[in-house]
């Protein structure tokens, strides 16, 4: 079974600065996908970014990028130029190639200070 | 605009009641999921369905059952609600296949008293 670990329960960052959220996972599989989801105070979960394990290139979506280290089973999210609207819970998630089940970490609460 | 709609945003039920949480998606997705979200525990999968009338247990199915009679609707049933089922419940749907984005409902905060 896959496990996803987010060891930091909360972080805080100054507006316009950069912050990195950590995630590690454990799996014996070779083909899988990794995701970061955001849950703002409105509770609506939305996808931030995804990464295919077979791709060496790190995914990037505007101010959001990942550092994917497959051998270390690490998948961190970097948020550049933090904005107040980035304040939310962030969840790292794993999906095995053969099915569509998403396994989530415990999440991290990010606060962006003005 | 894609949409997953959960029937209630807030719900208060009494211990022992049978509770139905409804979820409807309008995206013709094959997969539907029910998660439970608790502080410090993240999202835990209760059940998922990959087709009409098909279901599989997730990580914490005890005390819950599900029903999927139509493709767009996935119901979570608490046969006899207990106080330890007080939680936030999230429904999600996705297309069949890997690397597909899951779309979530707005959540139902259930309180069992």
| pLDDT of B76 above 80 | yes
Band of residue B103 on the pLDDT scale cut at 50, 70, 90: very high
Q: Do B100 and A100 touch (CB under 8 A)?
A: yes
For the cut 80, the answer to whether the pLDDT of residue B88 exceeds it is: yes
Report yes or no: A45 at the B interface, CB cutoff 8 Å. yes
Residues 37-56 of B with CB under 8 A from A: 40-45, 48, 50
H/E stretch holding B109: strand B108-112
What are the DSSP calls for B16-79, one per residue? Answer: T--EEEEEEESS--SEEEEEEEETTTEEEEEEEEEETTEEEE-S--TTEEEEEEETTEEEEEES
Are B35 and B50 within 8 A, CB to CB?
no
- From chain B, pick out residues whose CB is under 8 angstroms from the CB of A34: none
Q: Which residues of chain A neighbour B94 with C-beta distances below 8 Å?
A: 100
Residue of B nearest to A106 (CA): B42
Contact yes or no for A101 and B40 at CB 8 A:
no
What number of other Cβ atoms are within 10 A of residue B96's Cβ?
Answer: 12
Count of domains for chain B: 1
pLDDT of amino acid A96:
84
Write down the pLDDT at residue A17: 97
**Domain of B22: which CATH number?**
2.60.40.10
For chain A, the structural domain boundaries read 3-113
Q: Nearest residue on chain B to A100, judged by CA atoms?
A: B98
User: Is 70 exceeded by the pLDDT of residue B98?
Assistant: no
CATH code of the domain occupying A3-113? 2.60.40.10
Residues forming a β-bridge with B112: B13
A71 touches chain B (CB under 8 A): no
The string of pLDDT tens digits covering residues A6-26 is 999 999 999 999 999 999 999
Instruction: Please give the pLDDT value at position A100.
Output: 78
The answer, for B8 touching chain A at a CB cutoff of 8 Å, is: no
Q: How far apart are CA B50 and CA B42, in angstroms?
A: 23
Question: What is the C-alpha separation between A39 and A48, in angstroms, rounded?
Answer: 10
Q: Which domain holds residue B10?
A: 4-112
The stretch A99-108 carries a mean pLDDT of 89
Instruction: Kindly identify which residue of chain B lies nearest to residue A43, measuring between CA atoms.
Output: B106
Which residue in chain B is spatially nearest to A38 when comparing CA positions? Answer: B104
């Amino acid at each position: 079974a896959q496990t996803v670990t987010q060891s930091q329960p909360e972080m805080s960052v100054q507006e316009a600065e950069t912050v990195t959220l950590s995630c590690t996972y454990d799996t014996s599989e070779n083909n899988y996908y990794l995701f970061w989801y955001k849950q703002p105070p409105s509770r609506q979960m939305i996808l931030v970014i995804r990464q295919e394990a077979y791709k060496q290139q790190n995914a990037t979506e505007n101010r959001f990028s990942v550092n994917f280290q497959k051998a270390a089973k690490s998948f961190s999210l970097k948020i550049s130029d933090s904005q107040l609207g980035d304040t939310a819970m962030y969840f790292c998630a794993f999906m095995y190639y053969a099915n569509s089940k998403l396994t989530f970490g415990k999440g991290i609460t990010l606060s962006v200070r003005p | 605009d894609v949409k997953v709609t959960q029937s209630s945003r807030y719900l208060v039920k009494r211990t022992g009641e049978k509770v139905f949480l409804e979820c409807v998606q309008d995206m013709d997705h094959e997969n539907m999921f029910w998660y439970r979200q608790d502080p410090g525990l993240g999202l835990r999968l209760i059940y998922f369905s990959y087709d009409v009338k098909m279901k599989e247990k997730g990580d914490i199915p005890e005390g819950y059952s599900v029903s999927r009679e139509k493709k767009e609707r996935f119901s979570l049933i608490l046969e006899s609600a207990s106080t330890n089922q007080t939680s936030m419940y999230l429904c999600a749907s996705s297309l069949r296949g890997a690397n597909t984005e899951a779309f979530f409902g707005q959540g139902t905060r259930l309180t069992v008293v």
